[in-house]
Chains A and B, each alone.
Chain A
């Protein structure tokens, strides 16, 4: 059977299901539950059918190459260990779905819940099935993300939001560390493939980057599994709906950390660092978690700390660094998942039926909900490690493992006593859960009258508790083979001896169990007065709040520190920023000088050309004049700018760049029109401001500084340009373009061939940018609000209007019309001429100077000229220019030309060319690049016209505004009540 495709199907199914679930109606609780449950069951069936393949150390693999050079593949890999975890994830997932159907209230939006839950299931399966470490990290972060979304499911609740945020920050920060750690491991091994990593244990441990890599991987694993000192996010995460807590925060996601530890143990374990780092984190968490759990007043809080403690136990087992420790850890993962999930479900039922989960208010629930009470009691007993239940078995193994000698340090010798002590607390909180909630006098004053939940809501917990019992009584027959397969996958074929029996005789570990039981009961009764006082949290230690410390650190780092840095280094003033930028650029330019300075006089190749010198005398004067005039004489500055632009343009011709000259010329034209249109909205400049003496000094100082910077920049660039120009040119990639422009691109104009063929993709990007800019300009101007002083009609027009008004035979605007009569006629006649020119440029572009860009802007000029000649209203009444369509057609055509290459199995934007002989015109080049150039043309026309028209329209709008306002007040006036 194609097990390999089972893997990918099993992984994709939850995500697909999640997408479907998101689309169902808000109140479709039943449909959602059916969907999610079916998905889980199908995957379970797939897993069951794959079981024979993995049972004897078999591995099912599925690999799709993605970027093999970087070691990035989609790689799925299922061995016994992954199988066990997958079964746990889907099995408990199914039960949680069933439970959630009854737990969630009809007013909760069901699609969001079930789609996140399914997606989480997929992400979790992704972690355990990953055969590539990078891919594992990807799914790892996905689980953090879905955990965040699920904890914050009731986002109207501030606690839920905070809990979600803390969990996300801690676990995803850990995920980043893990990513870094995985990169180090991949660097050492030379591959991210899990099989190769697991086989390279020796190399990893011997490498000098072992410790940093280990620490980073551990940071990931320990944050995820809520190990000290990162444990505090888990109690905060209890703000999630209880099914989420049962599923993510006890049975599956928090186990991802220990999963990774066990998974990587063959590769990274077996060192003192592992023993001490993992072992001590586990030990501290185990003890602290158990201790804190006793003092919780919230049922879910108690379970959360208990989960932390049990995760600590598993981590400790892994940290003890022996094969047998891994066996016990794997076994306890399964056991903990079963009893803790059922306990969470029981807590949820109590919360659901009583309206509270505060232990101080709950009492004597045995009477009103006997079945739930029995379930919870059995599960809690399993948690405490009572014989004949599954918790007992793994705990025995755990005790036995702690007695073993590891490195024989003081901690190692004290270990059995320490864990027995912690186990007393485990027993104490389990006892507290049973006794305080179910026994004692029946509680009054509950928000709701407690009663048994519906059968199907109880069923998941029942199944889990039955599993606890069966595993506890006949372990070898039930869980034995699965454990064997999982252990074999982790440890290989040489397995340590372990036995799954209820009775091993009178052993030290049994004694430890008995002591823990008795001690736990004693601890419970000793602490009872304190617990009854109603204080949440243990004495003294409750004041050390991990969450508060975290928040404080977060605020300091992300806000105070940032503010401080901003105050020191930041400025809101643009001038200062630009100054720094200019100075920095200058410095960067000077940097290589001391290293590479070599005075070689290559001499100038060209002779002195007086015309060129004269041209640049004009150019330099224009530039300096524009700089001088830009403040007070804007039109003059604009004309001088145009002069400088023309000089640049002529230089381009001089320097054998006809395409540039053409483009520069037309762009110069539209830029000038654009700026002229903008001038109207700028404020009047008052030349004489009398500044105070101090500010005059500041201004003088600032100007001198700017002048020095500007002078340095000018001299620097001039020098750089000169020394480069007089050096012989290196052999650059230009050679390729010159040689291949015709043979491969089919065009004689090399520049154009580069643009539309060799670098066509860049051009596609560029015209996209142009389109985006045009749309942005349009959008910004739609909401344009001119300054109040700019709203009235300009003086010149007012004078014209006054003149027109004074003469009865004239209408408003006649003066303008008269003045423009001759130019308008000429411009109207020019329209077809310019249009044909544009077309001419477009068509010859591939072989002669021209091309889409210059043609496009020329065409835009043709339109603009009409606007200038006849006015906006006339043009728009007679000529339908639809710039957005032009742009759309251009972009679609450009993309289409690119995609068309796919039809011939060529890469995107590959061009094709040939020549067609026509009778009159002669040989016409027919290149697909021409189509591309036409799209460039179309987009450039659209974008340019759109921007210019949008700006031109502002003048009409502002004329309307005061009149419209006047009209509105006039309309509103009669409605006012007469005084």
Chain B
């Protein structure tokens, strides 16, 4: 049942993220990207299948048995993804602020839509 719960969680994060990145205000987009990256990170970890209480830390100093440990590969991928995600968020925030300063608006297109 854990799989269902986690899938729903991933789905909710992704759906909220996609909704937000389609919004017109830069702040919405930045929140949306963060939510989307949670979803994707969880999704990648889930690709290694769910294991509880089996961290990828070898219990004895020897050749490890893959069945005894959580899949380390998605974790290594996600660990770097988290850090890079932080960097892109920072970069996006800076661009967002610069664009707001230059154009006077926080619309993603740099100008208010003609309504």
Contact = CB atoms under 8 A, between A and B. Distances in A.
B84 A766 contact: yes
A743 interface: yes
Contact of A648 (B38, B56, B70, B89): B38
A725 B100 contact: no
Contacts of A741: 58, 64, 72
A6 interface: no
Interface string A882-919: 00000000000000000000000000000000000000
A652 B101 CA distance: 38
Interface in B1-59: 1-28, 30-32, 34-35, 38-39, 41-43, 45-59
With a 10 A CB-CB cut-off, give which of B64, B69, B83 has the most chain A CB atoms: B83
B100 to A, nearest CB: 6
B3 A722 contact: yes
A578 B13 contact: no
A750 B66 CA distance: 11
Contacts of B3: 604-606, 721-722, 725-726
A724 B64 contact: no
Contacts of B59: 748
Interface in A944-960: 944, 947, 951, 954
A750 B1 contact: no
Contact of B46 (A574, A675, A725, A759): A725
Given A608-B1, A616-B6, A656-B54, A623 B35 contact: yes
A697 to B, nearest CB: 11
With a 10 A CB-CB cut-off, give which of B34, B53, B85 has the most chain A CB atoms: B34
A163 interface: no
Contacts of B6: 616, 651, 721, 725
Contacts of B12: 619-620, 623-624, 714, 718
A80 B26 CA distance: 69
A657 B45 contact: yes
B35 A644 contact: yes
A634 interface: yes
A682 interface: yes
A358 B106 CA distance: 63
A714 B15 contact: yes
A631 B23 contact: yes
Contacts of B83: 663, 667, 766, 770, 853, 857, 940
A348 to B, nearest CB: 54
Nearest to A579: B22
Given A682-B100, A722-B3, A725-B50, A769 B75 contact: no
A857 B79 CA distance: 13
With a 10 A CB-CB cut-off, give which of B38, B90, B105 has the most chain A CB atoms: B90
Contacts of B105: 683
B1 to A, nearest CB: 4
A375 interface: no
A630 B38 contact: no
Contacts of A788: 104
Contact of B55 (A658, A715, A740, A742): A658
Given A582-B22, A641-B35, A721 B7 contact: yes
A683 B104 CA distance: 9
A785 B23 contact: no
A619 B100 contact: no
A710 B18 contact: yes
A709 B101 CA distance: 31
Contacts of A724: 46-47
A647 interface: yes
Contact size range, B: 35 or more
Contact of B51 (A656, A774, A785, A786): A656
B72 A750 contact: yes
Contact of A573 (B55, B65, B109): B109
Nearest to B53: A656
A783 B5 CA distance: 47
Contact of B87 (A608, A651, A742, A774): A774
Contact of B106 (A620, A624, A683, A770): A683
Nearest to A724: B47
A606 B34 contact: no
A715 B18 CA distance: 12
A652 B62 CA distance: 26
B22 A706 contact: yes
A675 B93 contact: yes
B45 A660 contact: yes
Contacts of A692: 115
Contacts of B10: 717-718, 721
Contacts of B55: 656-658, 849
Contacts of B75: 657, 659-660, 751
Interface in B59-103: 59, 61-66, 69-73, 75-76, 78-80, 82-91, 93-98, 100-102
A947 B90 contact: yes
A686 to B, nearest CB: 12
Interface string A631-658: 1001001100100110110011011111
Given A721-B46, A754-B73, A738 B65 contact: yes
Contacts of B2: 604, 606-609, 612
B24 A609 contact: no
Contact of B27 (A608, A634, A660, A740): A634
Interface stretch (A11-19, A389-397, A533-541, A729-737): A729-737
Contacts of B46: 655, 721, 724-725
Interface string A302-334: 000000000000000000000000000000000
A696 to B, nearest CB: 9
A787 interface: yes
B82 to A, nearest CB: 5
B64 A738 contact: yes
B7 A719 contact: yes
Contacts of B16: 623-624, 626-627, 710, 714
A559 interface: no
Contacts of B14: 713-714, 717-718
A680 to B, nearest CB: 9
Contacts of B109: 572-575
A43 interface: no
Given A604-B1, A722-B7, A729 B86 contact: no
B42 A651 contact: yes
Given A604-B4, A682-B27, A742 B22 contact: no
A772 to B, nearest CB: 9
B5 A613 contact: yes
Contacts of A717: 10-11, 14-15, 39, 43
A695 B115 contact: yes
A655 B50 CA distance: 6
A710 B66 contact: no
17 contacts: A623-B12, A644-B38, A651-B6, A652-B45, A659-B56, A659-B79, A681-B101, A683-B100, A691-B115, A695-B115, A725-B49, A725-B50, A737-B76, A741-B72, A763-B80, A773-B87, A951-B93
Interface of A: 572-575, 578-579, 582, 604-609, 612-613, 616, 619-620, 623-624, 626-627, 630-631, 634, 637-638, 641, 644-645, 647-648, 651-652, 654-660, 663-664, 667, 670-671, 674-675, 678, 681-683, 691-692, 695, 698, 706-707, 709-711, 713-715, 717-722, 724-726, 728-729, 732-735, 737-743, 748-751, 754-755, 759, 762-763, 766, 769-770, 773-774, 776-777, 780-781, 783-788, 790, 847-849, 851, 853, 857, 940, 943-944, 947, 951, 954
Interface of B: 1-28, 30-32, 34-35, 38-39, 41-43, 45-59, 61-66, 69-73, 75-76, 78-80, 82-91, 93-98, 100-102, 104-106, 108-109, 115
Given A607-B2, A698-B115, 13 more contacts: A606-B50, A627-B32, A663-B83, A706-B23, A710-B18, A717-B10, A734-B71, A750-B56, A755-B79, A766-B84, A790-B101, A849-B55, A851-B79
- Nearest 8 CB-CB pairs, A to B? A714-B15, A718-B11, A710-B19, A627-B16, A656-B70, A750-B72, A608-B1, A695-B115
